[in-house]
Structure 1
């Protein structure tokens, strides 16, 4: 029995009350084994009487499987073709919407220290975006070690994000220090593993150090129990009936988590499992529960499992594992038991494991593929086959964005005899880390052995050449070299589905560079106009078409394409690892004046690519919004990342995007000297730019703007001529060309009348689709008109520009004198009572576009409850009672809400 302090009870009540009131949060109960963590969560459940409770228990470290917690909570992860943390979180949100109804929800997880990282990342995503949800996440965990669930720990450490109840226990730092003092030859990673295994109990930890040498502790798959603990457990087991002891052995063979008592009975061959389990529960050796579907049991403690498992004779263990393999139709679980039952090399089982790992690889389930490749390697009798399978395991780990390689894996990358295979994996590591120049150095020049069918596997040659093309694009290799690598890869006659994106993207770039946008457009000739009709395997092609349309200024069709890619990403249908296509969707929204939707897409793009580095195109694209909103520190931070990357790896397409973003930043700033000197300071970039055939309207527009600032008639003339030759131009391109022509005439000191006429034509031409740029050209029109004495024209243009800037929220342009208004004129503010948070503006923007609650939730990666929360806030601020009334109010006066481009 546990007696809780008033502090602990009041913390539980506060967490429950706050979640019940629509303020979601996290409760962390942290402590060593035996300190009552589970009992305290039981007390929490008893306190939260009106909550719908979803339970999950993590498996012991080493036995966890991806998505285990999510599946225990009922989230339909298995139905998702592609798995990303943000997509998993959305599936979990949909589960909450399903079970919650009118009741608050409690997500409970025991033994979080053992939880699979995929589930924990999904929970972190869920909490980061939860607002207004009647949700409490409660976890029991041993003290977290460095590197274990760091994302959730950082979020939980933020102000007001979590309640912490810390029970007794050794810290990981103390454990490391103790291990270093007693057994300095034991490595730090083994020390942390011992700490997790013993729950920080110093007596158990000391005992294991005393009883086992460092190498034994490092190599063992299941850490042992201390002798004294094992003896105590043996005495407990000896006191229970024989059937109970056999049932306990079966439970320990089946794993650390909750399992069906019927399965355990089948493995143990026990006729009356209920009585046997009851005796084990009375002895404190197992825990029981009775959910729907029959009784469930689990071993009481990890050390208990180790003690029982290691005391079971090996022949008996093998028999139990073989029986366990027959109790399940799950292929992976069955294979795990067959692995545990193996006594020696088993090439038949190794080949089966290798085939299973290959299927997982093709399906892009890379973490699991790596696991089964490792098992296949361990069971392979041929050393060369064993080495190749180990290399396959490392490659899959890297494709799954896992760069935390073991010491043995890193040694393999320097010592493997199969040089071609080893080189591919070394290059993959550098690519995942963003060191594309290093990868290029490893892969190029292509060794002659790749042309020898007898010397290198065709699949290895294909991978080598595809990764060479990818690295070449990012590291600034010549277009001819990239094209050659792709051509040679295609000629091999085999493909790796997991590298489809690595092959397709360089192909797009080669076409653009060699044949211009018209040549690249031919690639999409057979693609359905409706992107939703394109089959899944054409998703990358849809994304490429969307980017081409964006760069051509065809904003509405570009938005359709890229929004469909985003939809498939959010549904888990595709995996866009670096966030670039989602950032391009944000850019399309930004151009069209839908800055709230742009902000949501940009946040998703940064999160999607938040691995080892921020892709330079993403960094540059995301900087557009803070630049034009006046958040210059954030814009400069992003641009510095993009610049640093481009200095080291001059990727042509990233350089174009960087130029656009820098011109936008300079235009929003107030430093005329920096504008005038930009072309000169970036001469190498502009030299590459003018030599390229792959420029689109977006890049040429900004190059011409920079040329006007510099008074560079040659660069400006070239840019305007290049725009006129583009095969695809939007309606608003005529206004932009006249605007740029007028600026160039003004900057080069030619006939002022020509400049004025050009700006006058620009102001009268269609350009509403790009409101920020219409405002810019109106400001310039007002300035030139004022010089010519046309004050009435100047005032009208200035007022229209100011109204556009206001509606967008383009703060830098509303400073005195920047918008064409008289100095000292104050911008008309959005009504104070209607001032919205960023998330409210995003929800409102999607409501105005006709999206349902479910669609808005999926678009913004939030729950439907969060959507309802933000809409209720908007109703309260505006005095309406329905989304119909809210929509009518905003469409009647969009400027007061700061909403532009509102659908009619």
Structure 2
């Protein structure tokens, strides 16, 4: 087992922690038995988390260890922790999993997670795995998403995950492990006991320590290992330790570190100062060159002895670093200013070019317009390369170095704009006061509007939006920087449902020459604005006019994955379901390539809605699971409303009322943050729940917020854009409650707005025939039903609407005493409901058949499928298509072992002994149910 990087060499001895060591050993035993678990080791800084984990793992044998050390300087290094974990593995193995060692910018975390699951699945067949994440409070957000994705799929693997973090860090919340079966052990570390302190003192050469002295140390340090070690190190240098003399305990850790440095030889002091300035894990030779130390090994030895520095002698380059952040800060602050600048100047020549900029900035004594200009230029290159987060960092430095206020403010505002574009809202909001202090202008107003919008404080946002619009209209600037801000305003206006303003601002941003990362977003927003203003078909037409995407998704280049995802979303809203799925799935696949920049967060949600309407409910449930398993972020709340709404549709259709209501609540809570115009998704979700229950009054109650908006503002904005999803339910509810004149008006509105939406053809026929029948003209209603059912099926048919149409026609025939034909159509409807897994609809249809004195015709294999879980059902259908376990694992982003686990359970439930038997029994259902 390789435990390098886990335990410092030459530092203070390890003492105590017996209960925690036993718990970690127990977790390892469970792993060896095939039960994965996670140990969360937390405590304050320096409490001994890393040392505990190092000692525990050193006692193991036969484990493969994947280890990563997190650092605040790398918190914006997307998926950097994942790359660390696999950095020491055999390159031949990693070649099979390219997203792990070098994921392209914008890669969706669950795609990386899928490869990590596959890698872990492969490695653990040879030996158990220990995954260690040190200082997880500084882990990048995307890596934590990947680890959560992995954690939810480890129940049948041999994996021990050990995470260390500071108290108060929301590590488990960020992992979002709900829904998995991973055992989690919480190991909170407190201070050492007095007996442990005495043992530690002996190990450090203090053979005898009076109880009174031990008590003083305990009281002064609260047993904090780092504090205690430093105090004992000071005591060990004393010729005589007496309890009647005051302990050399510093008032703070910084003072203790400074005192420790004073005892060092000049070479050791220079070495630790260089380490503090470099602030990174680097080869000892590089640190020595920066420090100007000839005998690096001799200078390092005292630093190892007092536990201040960590090194890895197993690594050929013997990398070193200061062990804890707080001592590093204390050392850094203790360096004389002139010496500190000189070290930064030297360091800039020894580190990578990307790291040299920080040292050059720190080496400056005053404003430096030349360096500021260089930083602005490298920021532009970073944007062109797709790294707008790093561009923001460069621009913030450039702002501080600017000689003129106008340049300082311009660079600051552009930096903050980049942070918002890349959804680093927390980071951006740190500069809100500085933005507010800037001179009035379009960038300032757009950013202040964005800050208020992200907080969902629309009363505060409104005046800033007005100021921004006025400033943009008065400004003659067409710079890309202003274009970035105007583009941001276009997105904000689209969020708020303001189609007219969204289109105007997007046009203005394009004219200003806005660049990546917002250019494709602006094009999508412009089309979206047209949809808010004129409807879905207008949105799709506008999109085709401003983009030159190939008609075939397979011909789209990876760099255009974002635009392809947008086209798929607009095709969904316009009712082109099959084309939508093709675009969205291709965009999702392209996002895993090394050329893709990013895709819209809504792609998975849009895909879920499309699959739901096409009748592929298992697939819809799977995709909503992937996105809703990720931690919630304020900036993505509107995306969560979309995806939770889709999840509610599936759960409602299957009669899982509690789950459906939960998803609808989540969607509503998210949408409410962005105003009533965003309520379309939770409103549709709640209406679908009432629809599945057969509660027409409940549908009307659920739709009332949208109906109120339409009454107040007309058919515009979000209600217009999503009319094909809520207006049909409104028509159904009005007919079902006997409000026929109102139903007639609503149906006319639906017909006028959905003429070009093919998936609604069956639904329109059902409503038209039902309303005609309810109005007393069964002969004409029958003709309407028959014409629709005789029409050739299309790729965009919605099975649920077909079943409703079949059921209505069957009931009409039964009323006309054509029992045999009527029963045939009712049983066809029942079969469609059952194949979908639409339990409430199927039960009502069965009840109607029974009430008519008929026995429902059941396909046993279809009934059996209703007893499976969603994941088991999905796997059965994929096996029935002829897919292997490996292919299914790739399709569902799980491990082969997980597929095998579900297959075994499914065989037991269905009484099946072979894949061939399963395929023979369920191939027909698979052909109907899986795209």
Q: 1:744 aligns with which of 740, 761, 771?
A: 771
Deviation (angstroms), 1:417: 1.9
Alignment partner of 2:832: what SS? helix
- Give the 3 Å change call, closer, same or farther, for CA 303–567 of structure 1 in structure 2: same
- Residues 371-380 or 536-545, more deviating: 536-545
- Give the 3 Å change call, closer, same or farther, for CA 869–641 of structure 1 in structure 2: closer
- Residues 774-783 or 18-27, more deviating: 18-27
Deviation (angstroms), 1:110: 2.5
Alignment partner of 2:758: what SS? coil
What are the equivalent positions in structure 2 for 1:154-303 lying under 5 Å apart?
Answer: 155=177, 161-169=183-191, 225-235=253-263, 237-238=264-265, 243-255=267-279, 257-278=280-301, 280-303=303-326
Alignment partner of 2:126: what SS? coil
- Residues 866-875 or 389-398, more deviating: 866-875
- Give the 3 Å change call, closer, same or farther, for CA 98–475 of structure 1 in structure 2: same
Q: Is 2:607 the counterpart of 1:582?
A: no
- Residues 698-707 or 383-392, more deviating: 698-707
Alignment partner of 2:694: what SS? coil
CA distance in 2, matches of 1:153, 1:420: 39
What are the ranges of 5 or more consecutive residues in structure 2 without an aligned counterpart?
1-12, 88-99, 193-220, 232-250
Q: Is 2:480 the counterpart of 1:468?
A: no
Contact 1:795 1:821 (8 Å CA) reproduced = yes
CA distance in 1, matches of 2:558, 2:813: 53
Q: Is 2:506 the counterpart of 1:486?
A: yes
Give the structure 1 partner of residue 61 of structure 2: 49
Q: Is 2:451 the counterpart of 1:420?
A: no
Give the structure 2 partner of residue 213 of structure 1: none
Alignment partner of 1:497: what SS? coil
Deviation (angstroms), 1:745: 0.6
- Give the 3 Å change call, closer, same or farther, for CA 9–538 of structure 1 in structure 2: closer
Q: 1:112 aligns with which of 114, 136, 143?
A: 136
- Give the 3 Å change call, closer, same or farther, for CA 721–775 of structure 1 in structure 2: closer
**TM-score, length of structure 1 as denominator length:** 0.81
Q: Is 2:543 the counterpart of 1:500?
A: no
- Give the 3 Å change call, closer, same or farther, for CA 227–859 of structure 1 in structure 2: same
Give the structure 2 partner of residue 755 of structure 1: 781
Contact 1:779 1:819 (8 Å CA) reproduced = no
Alignment partner of 2:132: what SS? strand
Give the structure 2 partner of residue 705 of structure 1: 732
Q: 1:718 aligns with which of 745, 748, 751?
A: 748
- Give the 3 Å change call, closer, same or farther, for CA 833–713 of structure 1 in structure 2: closer
Alignment partner of 2:41: what SS? strand
Alignment partner of 2:849: what SS? coil
- Residues 750-759 or 615-624, more deviating: 615-624
Give the structure 1 partner of residue 234 of structure 2: none
Contact 2:565 2:584 (8 Å CA) reproduced = yes
- Give the 3 Å change call, closer, same or farther, for CA 4–647 of structure 1 in structure 2: closer
Q: Deviations over 1:394-431 (max 9, x none)?
A: 33333333333588623224322243321121122234
Give the structure 2 partner of residue 729 of structure 1: 758
Deviation (angstroms), 1:138: 0.8
Q: Is 2:144 the counterpart of 1:123?
A: no
Contact 2:175 2:631 (8 Å CA) reproduced = no
CA distance in 2, matches of 1:24, 1:246: 46
Contact 1:512 1:520 (8 Å CA) reproduced = no
- Give the 3 Å change call, closer, same or farther, for CA 849–474 of structure 1 in structure 2: farther
Q: Is 2:913 the counterpart of 1:885?
A: no
Q: Deviations over 1:615-659 (max 9, x none)?
A: 44444333211221223344345546666887897887x677667
Give the structure 1 partner of residue 839 of structure 2: 811
Contact 1:318 1:340 (8 Å CA) reproduced = yes
Alignment partner of 1:297: what SS? strand
- Give the 3 Å change call, closer, same or farther, for CA 98–519 of structure 1 in structure 2: same
What are the equivalent positions in structure 2 for 1:421-820 lying under 5 Å apart?
Answer: 421-434=443-456, 439=461, 441-444=463-466, 448-451=470-473, 456=477, 458-477=479-498, 479-495=499-515, 497-498=517-518, 500-510=520-530, 513-514=533-534, 517=537, 520-521=540-541, 523-524=543-544, 526-569=548-591, 573-576=596-599, 579-607=601-629, 610-612=632-634, 613-615=637-639, 616-639=641-664, 661=685, 663-675=687-699, 683-685=707-709, 701-702=728-729, 704-709=731-736, 710-711=739-740, 712=742, 714-715=744-745, 717-719=747-749, 721-722=751-752, 725-726=755-756, 729=758, 735-747=762-774, 749-766=775-792, 769-815=797-843, 820=848
- Give the 3 Å change call, closer, same or farther, for CA 81–362 of structure 1 in structure 2: same
Alignment partner of 2:518: what SS? helix
CA distance in 1, matches of 2:671, 2:39: 43
- Give the 3 Å change call, closer, same or farther, for CA 771–542 of structure 1 in structure 2: same
Deviation (angstroms), 1:56: 1.8
- Give the 3 Å change call, closer, same or farther, for CA 344–819 of structure 1 in structure 2: farther
**TM-score, length of structure 2 as denominator length:** 0.79
CA distance in 1, matches of 2:410, 2:365: 22
CA distance in 1, matches of 2:610, 2:698: 27
Give the structure 1 partner of residue 340 of structure 2: 317
Deviation (angstroms), 1:822: 0.9
Give the structure 2 partner of residue 188 of structure 1: none
Deviation (angstroms), 1:6: 6.1
Q: Is 2:105 the counterpart of 1:81?
A: yes
CA distance in 2, matches of 1:268, 1:291: 23
Contact 2:744 2:771 (8 Å CA) reproduced = no
Deviation (angstroms), 1:11: 1.9
CA distance in 2, matches of 1:59, 1:809: 48
Alignment partner of 2:622: what SS? helix
- Residues 500-509 or 433-442, more deviating: 433-442
Contact 2:21 2:52 (8 Å CA) reproduced = no
- Give the 3 Å change call, closer, same or farther, for CA 833–81 of structure 1 in structure 2: closer
Give the structure 1 partner of residue 238 of structure 2: none
Alignment partner of 1:163: what SS? strand
- Give the 3 Å change call, closer, same or farther, for CA 414–597 of structure 1 in structure 2: same
CA distance in 2, matches of 1:681, 1:225: 58
Q: 1:390 aligns with which of 386, 400, 412?
A: 412
Q: Deviations over 1:178-236 (max 9, x none)?
A: xxxxxxxxxxxxxxxxx9xx99969999xxxxxxxxxxxxxxxxx9843244213422x
CA distance in 2, matches of 1:848, 1:689: 49
How many residue pairs match? The answer is 841
CA distance in 2, matches of 1:370, 1:606: 29
Alignment partner of 2:425: what SS? coil
Give the structure 2 partner of residue 837 of structure 1: 869
Contact 2:810 2:821 (8 Å CA) reproduced = yes
Deviation (angstroms), 1:585: 0.6
- Give the 3 Å change call, closer, same or farther, for CA 228–252 of structure 1 in structure 2: closer
CA distance in 1, matches of 2:575, 2:75: 52
Alignment partner of 1:108: what SS? strand
